[in-house]
């Protein structure tokens, strides 16, 4: 059995920042028994959730796999697209739920999970699990037996008719237990005394966000009250990870994973780390407590695998879809450079600039994924000079505070941008799904909506330096400081399984970790 675990928004340094506080069965076990690739980097832009999960399991990049963001603007129609949206399917588990109209059809290539199914003539079982639809669906691939994600309104794990006609009995049984109610009834207090969290900033900082109904970002958090006001507020608590791993354990029993004639594959995304990070920031006590609790949850999960599958009968890899920047407020209070940019203000000013030059309004459709999207239908109908329009936009952006580079991607070969960043832009550019102008902001600069907490998406190491640890069957113990890319993960898994790598993979197997 293979278990691929993606910890959402986990920066590489979290492996070691809290190392002395971890127990022996979770992150420490991975590091001490497994092989850690210490310098693993994302090699495309933007560094977002759907893009990361896709890259991990395809070994490919947005230029080839088509998943250019969580959302994107279709360059042929000008329409908005969500990465896993599929109006041709229906929700399974909660009737008529829009959250269930999801599938992997927007993914243009195969995953390593697809290749395993093909290699075993579909005898292998593949299951994807996450709170997020995209993080359950994209890793599991096109041929998965099932993918399951959380419907906030009901508190149930659901799926879609792409996979199933109805939920299996074991899922209905799990959903009936009201686990969310059990998790939130006592609130969220720190696992250990508050004064022992010396690796984090003090509680109740101005840059921390608040849960619904709170007047201050302090422990204990009344998550029951927050959940009653908004069902989405279960996600930014550590208990979302606990729920996910318990559901994953139930899936192992429900599908009898690891017990058949062929190797099975379970993909798991622990998403609450992302929600907590976005809300409170990487230097909050909340994020530290979340990782200490996740460490305990992982230890319990690994122990279960030892018992049910057998220590020599599975291997795990643990990685992240992206990292996160320090909160701007945290940076500024410590005299480090950081700032905010306001996307809408930039777009409004660009509209006025283009009207003055080209006598047409609304030539820009949107700013998304650090890219500018244009109304190509209008530009073509009016016979406007598109190169001149792009040049005007680039020239304006280059003068704005916080902008490091702006580039017309069609002319990137001649742009004065460091080669490593240039390669990331090219790897992330899909002509049918990416905006023609790319913007790179200064290190530490975030979109203005992140006045509290943090976000991600840039080329900088805080967003792109991710953990990658393998442990179990076929893996030798050790670590490497060689530069590894996210695109190398899927080919490595394929090499261990002796199957074909995914059909658009550009990565290379990590030879050092294979016994």
d(CA 84, CA 163): 14
| 306 Rama class: left (phi>0) / alpha (psi -120 to 50) / beta | alpha
- Look at residue 438 and tell me whether its pLDDT is greater than 80: yes
- Look at residue 273 and tell me whether its pLDDT is greater than 80: yes
Contact assessment for residue 128 and residue 144, using Cβ atoms and an 8 Å cutoff = yes
d(CA 45, CA 407): 14
What is the token pair recorded at 252? Answer: 């192992």
Q: Delimit the domains of the chain by residue range.
A: 2-332+459-513, 339-443
d(CA 428, CA 435): 11
CA distances from residue 466 to 24, 56, 323, 459, 505 in whole angstroms, order as listed? 22, 11, 6, 12, 19
**Distance from chain centroid for Cα 462:** 14
What is the token pair recorded at 152? Answer: 């906030």
Cα angle: 157, vertex 161, 166; to 5 degrees:
60
pLDDT of residue 449: 83
pLDDT of residue 156: 98
SS3 per residue for 390-443? HHHHHHHHHCCCCEEEEEEHHHHHHCCCCHHHHHHHHHHCCCCCCCCEEEEECC
Mean pLDDT confidence for 177-187: 97
pLDDT of residue 450: 76
pLDDT band at 112 (very low <50, low <70, confident <90, very high): very high
CA dihedral of residues 308, 16, 50, 76 (deg, nearest 10): -160
Query: What percent of the chain shows pLDDT beyond 90?
Result: 99
Q: What is the pLDDT of residues 24-35, one digit of tens each?
A: 999 999 999 999
Neighbouring CB atoms inside 10 A of 306's CB total: 15
Residues β-bridged to residue 157: 150
Q: What is the pLDDT of residues 326-349, one digit of tens each?
A: 999 999 999 999 999 999 999 999
pLDDT of residue 287: 98
- Look at residue 448 and tell me whether its pLDDT is greater than 90: no
Question: Could you say which of 3.40.50.620, 3.40.50.300, 3.30.420.40, 3.30.1360.150 is the CATH number of the domain covering 339-443?
Answer: 3.30.1360.150
Query: What percent of the chain shows pLDDT beyond 70?
Result: 100
Given 49, 237, 279, 452, the catalytic residue: 49
Q: What is the pLDDT of residues 449-480, one digit of tens each?
A: 879 999 999 999 999 999 999 999 999 999 99
Q: Catalytic annotation on 49? A: yes
Of 183, 182, 145, the closest CA to residue 167 belongs to: 145
What is the token pair recorded at 344? Answer: 């809408």
Could you write out the DSSP letters of every residue in 11-74?
A: -TTHHHHTGGGS-TTTHHHHHHHSEEEEEEE--SS---HHHHHHHHHHS--HHHH---SSEEE-
DSSP class of 310: -
d(CA 421, CA 363): 28
- Look at residue 421 and tell me whether its pLDDT is greater than 90: yes
What is the token pair recorded at 499? Answer: 């199957």
Q: What is the pLDDT of residues 192-251, one digit of tens each?
A: 999 999 999 999 999 999 999 999 999 999 999 999 999 999 999 999 999 999 999 999
- CATH for 2-332+459-513 is 3.40.720.10
Mean confidence (pLDDT) of the chain: 97
Contact assessment for residue 48 and residue 83, using Cβ atoms and an 8 Å cutoff = no
What is the token pair recorded at 462? Answer: 């805080």
What is the token pair recorded at 378? Answer: 């209008």
Tokens 């991990």 appear where? 56
Residue 460 has, within 13 A of its CA and on its CB side, a CA count of 17
Calculate helix-pair angle for 239-254, 272-280, nearest 10 degrees.
170
Neighbouring CB atoms inside 10 A of 398's CB total: 13
pLDDT of residue 259: 96
Could you write out the DSSP letters of every residue in 335-358?
A: T---EEE-HHHHHHHHHHHHHHHH
d(CA 265, CA 81): 29
Tokens 């509209």 appear where? 351
């Amino acid at each position: 059995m293979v278990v691929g675990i993606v910890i959402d928004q986990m920066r590489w340094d979290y492996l070691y920042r809290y190392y002395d506080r971890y127990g022996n069965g979770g992150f420490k076990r991975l590091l001490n028994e497994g092989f850690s690739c210490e310098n693993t980097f994302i090699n495309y832009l933007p560094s977002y959730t759907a893009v990361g999960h896709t890259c991990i399991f395809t070994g490919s990049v947005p230029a080839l796999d088509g998943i250019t963001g969580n959302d994107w603007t279709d360059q042929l129609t000008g329409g908005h697209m969500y990465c896993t949206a599929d109006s041709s399917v229906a929700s399974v588990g909660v009737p008529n739920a829009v959250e269930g109209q999801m599938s992997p059809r927007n993914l243009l290539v195969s995953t390593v999970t697809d290749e395993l199914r093909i290699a075993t003539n579909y005898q292998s079982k593949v299951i994807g699990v996450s709170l997020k639809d995209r993080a359950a669906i994209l890793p599991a691939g096109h041929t998965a037996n099932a993918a399951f994600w959380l419907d906030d309104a009901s508190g149930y794990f659901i799926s879609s008719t792409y996979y199933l006609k109805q939920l299996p009995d074991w899922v209905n049984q799990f959903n009936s237990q009201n686990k969310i109610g059990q998790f939130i009834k006592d609130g969220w207090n720190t696992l250990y005394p508050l004064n022992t969290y010396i690796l984090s900033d003090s509680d109740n900082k101005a840059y921390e966000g608040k849960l619904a109904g709170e007047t201050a970002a302090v422990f204990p958090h009344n998550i029951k009250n927050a959940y009653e006001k908004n069902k989405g507020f279960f996600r930014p608590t550590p208990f979302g990870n606990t729920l996910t791993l318990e559901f994953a354990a139930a899936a192992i029993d429900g599908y009898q994973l690891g017990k058949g004639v062929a190797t099975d594959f379970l993909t798991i995304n622990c998403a609450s780390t992302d929600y907590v990070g976005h809300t409170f920031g990487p230097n909050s006590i909340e994020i530290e407590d979340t990782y200490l609790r996740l460490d305990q949850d992982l230890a319990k999960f690994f122990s279960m695998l030892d018992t049910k599958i057998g220590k020599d009968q599975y291997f795990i890899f643990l990685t992240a879809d992206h990292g996160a920047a320090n909160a701007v407020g945290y940076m500024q209070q410590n005299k480090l450079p950081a700032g905010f940019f306001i996307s809408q203000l930039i777009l409004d000013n660009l509209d006025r600039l283009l009207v003055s030059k080209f006598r047409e309004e609304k030539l820009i459709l949107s700013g998304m994924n650090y890219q500018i999207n244009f109304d190509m239908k209008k530009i073509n109908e009016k016979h406007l000079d598109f190169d001149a329009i792009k040049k005007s936009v680039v020239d304006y952006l280059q003068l704005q505070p916080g902008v490091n580079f702006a580039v017309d991607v069609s002319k990137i070969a001649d742009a004065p941008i460091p080669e490593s960043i240039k390669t990331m832009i090219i790897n992330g550019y899909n002509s049918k799904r990416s905006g023609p102008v790319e913007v790179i902001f200064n290190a530490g600069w975030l979109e203005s909506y992140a006045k509290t907490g943090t976000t991600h998406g840039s080329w900088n190491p805080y967003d792109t330096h991710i953990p990658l640890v393998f442990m179990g069957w076929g893996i030798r113990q050790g670590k490497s400081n060689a530069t590894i890319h996210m695109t190398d993960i899927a080919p490595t898994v394929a090499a261990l399984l002796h199957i074909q790598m995914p059909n658009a993979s550009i990565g290379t197997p990590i030879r050092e970790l294979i016994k």
